[in-house]
Amino acid sequence: MVLTIASILAAKRYTASHEWLLEDNGIATIGITDHAQEELGDIVYVDLPSVGDSFDQADTIASVESVKTTGDITIPVACEVAEVNEALQENPLLVNQSPEDEGWIVKVKLTAEGDLGDLMDETSYKKFLAQ
C-alpha cells in the first residue's frame, strides 16, 4: 500500500475527549467515536449548532443526551459551521448505530488549520484508549 500526502491528510484524527475529525479541502466532518457512544449509551437527543455559527478551538459545539447522561461535543479546531446532520433530529440513534459514518454531528469550515496538528492519528488514539 502506498501512502500519499492526500491519503495521510484524509485520515481520521481523534481527540482525548473522543471526537473524530475527517478533513477534506478545508471542510471537516466531526462526530464522536465508537468508544464515546458506547460510554454514553442510547442517544435520545442531539443539540446541534446553527449553520454559520463560529467556534474557537475547545468550545462546546453540540451536545448529546443519552439515557445515562448528557455529553458535550468539544470542537478540536477553530471553525465556522457549514452543515449539521439534520437526520439526527429525527433519528438520534444514528450516533449509536454509525458513530463514525452516518452519525456525524457537523461539517465545519476550518478557520485555523494549524489546530489539526494537536489531534491523534488512529494508532495513537487506540494507544490512548488502552491506557
Residue 67 · residue 41 · CB < 8 Å: yes
Average pLDDT over residues 81-104: 96
pLDDT confidence of residue 61: 96
Residues 6+ away with beta carbon under 8 Å from 100: 12, 20, 31, 33, 34
pLDDT digits (tens, 9 = 90+) for 49-65: 999 999 999 999 999 99
| CATH for 18-115 (1.20.1560.10, 2.40.50.100, 3.40.50.180, 2.40.50.140) | 2.40.50.100
**How far, in Å, CA of 17 to CA of 6, rounded?**
26
pLDDT confidence of residue 115: 73
pLDDT confidence of residue 11: 85
Asked if the model's pLDDT at residue 93 lies above 90, the reply is yes
pLDDT digits (tens, 9 = 90+) for 113-124: 677 888 999 999
pTM summary value? 0.87
Asked if the model's pLDDT at residue 99 lies above 50, the reply is yes
Distance of CA 112 to the CA centre of its chain: 16
Domain coordinates in residue numbering, the chain: 18-115
